[in-house]
Amino acid sequence: MPKAPKTAISPTRKENYPEWYQQVIKESDLAERSVVRGCMVIKPWGYALWENIVRSLDNMFKETGVKNAYFPLFIPLSFLEKEAEHVEGFAKECAVVTHHRLEKSPEGGLKPAGALNEPLVVRPTSETIIGDSFARWIKSYRDLPLLINQWANVVRWEMRTRMFLRTSEFLWQEGHTAHATSAEAVERTRLMLDVYARLAEEYLAMPVIRGRKSPAERFPGAVDTLCIESMMQDRKGLQAGTSHFLGQNFSKASGIRFQNAEEKEEFAWTTSWGASTRLIGGIIMTHGDDDGLILPPRVASAHIVLLPIFKNAQERILVMEYTEALAAQLTDRYYHDQKICVEIDDRDIGGARGWDWIKKGVPLRAEIGPRDISNDSVFVARRDRGVREKQAIARNDFVSGICSMLDDIQENIFNRARNHLRENSRTIDDAKAFYDYFTPNNQDQEKNQSEIHGGFSYSHWCGSESCETKIKNDLSVTIRCIPLNDEYGDKGKCICCGKDSDQRVVFAKAY
Amino acid sequence: MPKAPKTAISPTRKENYPEWYQQVIKESDLAERSVVRGCMVIKPWGYALWENIVRSLDNMFKETGVKNAYFPLFIPLSFLEKEAEHVEGFAKECAVVTHHRLEKSPEGGLKPAGALNEPLVVRPTSETIIGDSFARWIKSYRDLPLLINQWANVVRWEMRTRMFLRTSEFLWQEGHTAHATSAEAVERTRLMLDVYARLAEEYLAMPVIRGRKSPAERFPGAVDTLCIESMMQDRKGLQAGTSHFLGQNFSKASGIRFQNAEEKEEFAWTTSWGASTRLIGGIIMTHGDDDGLILPPRVASAHIVLLPIFKNAQERILVMEYTEALAAQLTDRYYHDQKICVEIDDRDIGGARGWDWIKKGVPLRAEIGPRDISNDSVFVARRDRGVREKQAIARNDFVSGICSMLDDIQENIFNRARNHLRENSRTIDDAKAFYDYFTPNNQDQEKNQSEIHGGFSYSHWCGSESCETKIKNDLSVTIRCIPLNDEYGDKGKCICCGKDSDQRVVFAKAY
């Protein structure tokens, strides 16, 4: 048996954060790269996490009156062209279907055949194809609001991909709503942002800032884009969900008209909002440590693993019987409306077994050996604490207390992330201090220069795209959002040009 | 208010079954055709039904140890070519991606650009791309069995499409497993067939015949294809799920090798199995009547609709209060592990309201007016009974009895479908009788000639493809399956050529 390494993941976060990220995904068995450029395979441990995120979000959507539906994967090219900014935004990264069969090529092998009259784009997002249905479904103000969501795969042909964060194909949901008034659509845009914030904070234990994108960072075709932004452990920002007020842009493009109460015809006001498998990247980089993944209990792929310990066949029988009985007891309990999900790992592979589950980030590990059984107790480790910190707990206390222990882990990792966000956020009003904040210092540079920077800076911005662009070019720092929270609503001078500014914005490097 | 038509759906089933089918889909609001050739939009009422089917099936899969994962949408052309029969089977109906961006064309508008080095096929099924992962995941017999399922969209470029039954894009699940021995893979193939049969019979109330496909009807690349076949109301067959034993064909194509307990390298034995949104077509054609859809309670998009009745604003307040209290009481109850799903429809549109819900097939409708409230009772109609058959039930009895009433509907529509299957199945041993059975008689012909035929015939078949083809060419009748049930295991003479035959097979026209 090789001696356990000092940390289960190599390199550590400090040594090389991007490589640490890839290694955590590999060692936790969440996902792998596929042979198809930029696409990934989501493995069972990763997919179970996604299923829990889906269920949590889907329930919240339905509570606000949203219904699910499904629209075609393919979008006729002419549809995408209907909204000028929209097609501009997606044209550079579209997978295009041009043929509908294969035939033998003269060189042997097969080649595309049956050219389509009109190429089809694999949906990068579905505003235009869903708009086509909405135009048919909506006739009168009585049909409004129309509140629809779709769970689907989408394709954006990214040139630089990173697992979960930016892949050519990804899984997501896209909500699309239509309303009789602008005010109601604006309200829905905000409501769905709050749903995403609740998912992030209550389920993923990921504190977020609610904000508005600068015009340059808006969704192509939107009037206003709201977003939640979170801070990863390398102090970069991650956009974790967006909610767009589309005004009448898409209803005009798709002909979504309704007769109002006065029997006059109007264009509807629409919104769209989405969150994706990118959230899994956020979980990894918010909570993971140098021993691997740490899963928030509310969405964890499993809540607990039971690790039976035995020296021989006789002990095995005794221990397995106890373990299975305990598993049955636990599985009968509910943790926030979901049955406790228990894994039993009886592989005979020595210390590697425990490390596997540490790396996979399961919230609780419980060892069960003959001595524990004679005490009617289990030996429990929490993933949010030190790897070697274990505690004997009487079986009954453990069973009755498991939910509060899971809640405690959930709260603990949320608080840790919130402290990290607070400690690495500053208000900066001086240009030199701002540039220093985002410029790597010598000590931090080492191997990992490009990844090191200050954190989030709440600084004033005059609103001009030229200042935004200059800062982006100089520092690779972008405006993550204009916070909705008016805590930062003081007036001041733009950090770039010194002109008057009404509000601070969040500047950061970002994924 | 127009007088209610004699039947809510026109034409009736007898008048024109294929058109009745399309009208039921339209009037029940399950789905609609999209602008994209052969693709459909699944509307909220249809998607809720699909979600319930997914949940039911997913639970059964997980009970057998299957885990979900997700694999790329795109398959490199070279992958599809790895298995000769497989690519042959799908080459004629593949959507092919050849470009990865759009650029301005000289005529204005956009054209495909960025040609791919290797075309990508939009998955028609995922044996080859999943095989690539399996080859990496499996090293030793300890990694087996590997039991994976994927919920996904797939594309088969069908020339003649029919909603739910045959669409260019559809939603499905595809299970893929790998085993150390042939026997174990064969056992899994059968186990999953039984899961499908259980879904069909217990959840969809659709009686099925479990059988084996003739070699000509096998999945391309399979050694053996098992299937469940059901009978629609027009006496045609519908294949509702398939489970394939793939032998070592795909493991050899993809290099899925493992070291056995004796440390020798072997190819794994694999299976695949799938069911799709086609099941919804089966539900429509098994249970629907001339007033529209009839949903099986176990998977219904909603269990009950409450229809408040009031003449003025004052009554409205009273009635809505009572209705909402009743809804809350019902929603608190569980029907087979799912909360009772209640709709309230308070639209003021007269009799059209009730008909809307009849056409949508909701199992129970309850009218609530001032007189019912004063009796503390509700006026309940069951969708499996005559449209005008309604019954006053004391509120408390209704609430406590709703689950058994739903179970009764479920049982009733299953029995009805089973009787229909029995009444329209025969054993036929005489060639002339066989041809007569499948040839429309004059009386039945009328408008709807191509749809009328006998039903299912259990007849002998010698096993030769030439007899199978002759019958198909003569009568458009195919071998639906060779039943697994040996009730029909007697020996006899082939219905076509008269040679010896070991077993009866099910002949029918089919979707």
Do residue A91 and residue B102 have CB atoms under 8 angstroms apart? yes
Q: Could you report the predicted ipTM of this complex, rounded to two decimals?
A: 0.95
Please tell me which residue of chain B has the smallest CA distance to A122. Answer: B97
Do residue B96 and residue A98 have CB atoms under 8 angstroms apart? yes
pLDDT at A423 over 50: yes
pLDDT of res. A191: 98
pLDDT of res. B452: 60
Residues of B in contact with A121 (CB under 8 A): 102
pLDDT, tens digit (0-9, with 9 covering 90-100), for B337-354: 899 999 999 998 888 999
* A176 alpha carbon, distance to own chain's centre: 19
Give counts: helices (H), strands (E), chain B.
Answer: 15, 27
Task: Return the number of CB contacts < 8 Å for A and B.
Answer: 194
Closest Cα of chain B to A112: distance in Å?
Answer: 7
Q: Which amino acid is at A510?
A: A
β strands within A265-336, DSSP E? 265-267, 269-276, 304-308, 334-335
Question: Architecture of domain A17-73+124-287 in CATH?
Answer: 2-Layer Sandwich (3.30)
pLDDT of res. B246: 97
List per-block mean pLDDT (blocks of 10 residues) for chain B, which spans 511 residues: 72 95 98 94 98 98 98 94 86 95 89 95 96 97 97 94 96 98 98 98 98 95 97 97 97 97 97 98 98 98 97 95 97 94 93 96 97 94 94 96 98 98 96 92 51 85 97 96 85 96 95 94
Interface of A with B in 357-396 (CB under 8 A): none
Task: Taking residues A23-46, report their average pLDDT.
Answer: 96
If one compares B496 and A349, the residue with the highest pLDDT of the two is: B496
pLDDT of res. A449: 46
Do residue A73 and residue B122 have CB atoms under 8 angstroms apart? yes
Do residue A133 and residue B87 have CB atoms under 8 angstroms apart? no
Q: Quote the CATH superfamily of domain B30-73+125-287.
A: Bira Bifunctional Protein; Domain 2 (3.30.930.10)
Closest Cα of chain A to B52: distance in Å?
Answer: 12
Within B70-112, where are the H helices?
A: 77-80, 84-90
pLDDT at A452 over 70: no
Best CA proximity match to A407, nearest among A397, A419, A415: A415
Of B79, B93, B347, which is closest to A101 when you measure between CB atoms? Answer: B93
Do residue B79 and residue A109 have CB atoms under 8 angstroms apart? no
Closest Cα of chain A to B54: distance in Å?
Answer: 13
Q: Do A163 and A34 meet the contact criterion of CB atoms below 8 Å apart?
A: no
Within B199-277, where are the H helices?
A: 249-254
pLDDT of res. B450: 45
Interface of A with B in 108-147 (CB under 8 A): 109-112, 114, 119-122, 129, 132-133, 136, 142
Residues of A in contact with B97 (CB under 8 A): 95-98, 122
Do residue A95 and residue B120 have CB atoms under 8 angstroms apart? yes
Q: Can you give the pTM of this predicted structure?
A: 0.96
Residues of A in contact with B95 (CB under 8 A): 74, 97, 99-100, 120
Closest Cα of chain B to A122: distance in Å?
Answer: 9
pLDDT, tens digit (0-9, with 9 covering 90-100), for A356-373: 999 999 999 999 999 999
Q: Quote the CATH superfamily of domain A297-416.
A: Anticodon-binding domain (3.40.50.800)
Domain ranges of chain B: 30-73+125-287, 302-412, 425-508
Chain A interface mutation, best of B102, B126, B151, B155, highest count of A Cβ atoms under 10 Å: B102
pLDDT of res. A305: 98
User: Nearest 5 degrees, angle CA B130-CA A353-CA A314?
Assistant: 115
The string over A426-455, giving b where at least 16 C-beta atoms fall within 10 Å of a residue's C-beta and e elsewhere, is: eebbebeebeebbeeeeeeeeebeebbbbb
Residues of B in contact with A78 (CB under 8 A): 109
pLDDT of res. A476: 93
Q: Does any CB of chain A come closer than 8 Å to the CB of residue B70?
A: yes
pLDDT of res. B451: 46
Chain A interface mutation, best of B61, B73, B93, B349, highest count of A Cβ atoms under 10 Å: B73
Q: What is the CATH number of domain B425-508?
A: 3.30.110.30
Which two structure tokens, joined as six digits, stand for B495?
Answer: 């219905």
Interface of A with B in 309-348 (CB under 8 A): none
Residues of A in contact with B75 (CB under 8 A): 36
Which two structure tokens, joined as six digits, stand for A100?
Answer: 């509908």
pLDDT of res. B348: 87
pLDDT, tens digit (0-9, with 9 covering 90-100), for A103-155: 998 888 899 999 999 999 999 999 999 999 999 999 999 999 999 999 999 99
Q: What is the rounded distance in angstroms from the CA atom of residue B497 to the CA atom of residue A416?
A: 79
Task: Taking residues A155-174, report their average pLDDT.
Answer: 95
Q: Does any CB of chain A come closer than 8 Å to the CB of residue B81?
A: yes
Q: Do A203 and A56 meet the contact criterion of CB atoms below 8 Å apart?
A: yes
Q: Which amino acid is at A81?
A: E
Of B94, B97, B169, which is closest to A72 when you measure between CB atoms? Answer: B169
Q: Does any CB of chain B come closer than 8 Å to the CB of residue A88?
A: no
pLDDT at A446 over 60: no
Q: Do B94 and B168 meet the contact criterion of CB atoms below 8 Å apart?
A: no
Q: Do B22 and B163 meet the contact criterion of CB atoms below 8 Å apart?
A: yes
Task: Taking residues A297-320, report their average pLDDT.
Answer: 96
Question: Architecture of domain B302-412 in CATH?
Answer: 3-Layer(aba) Sandwich (3.40)
Q: What is the rounded distance in angstroms from the CA atom of residue A155 to the CA atom of residue A167?
A: 8
Q: What is the rounded distance in angstroms from the CA atom of residue A277 to the CA atom of residue A43?
A: 13
Do residue A101 and residue B40 have CB atoms under 8 angstroms apart? no
Do residue B169 and residue A36 have CB atoms under 8 angstroms apart? no
Do residue B97 and residue A96 have CB atoms under 8 angstroms apart? yes
Grade residue A486 by pLDDT with cuts at 50, 70 and 90.
confident
Of B68, B71, B103, which is closest to A41 when you measure between CB atoms? Answer: B71
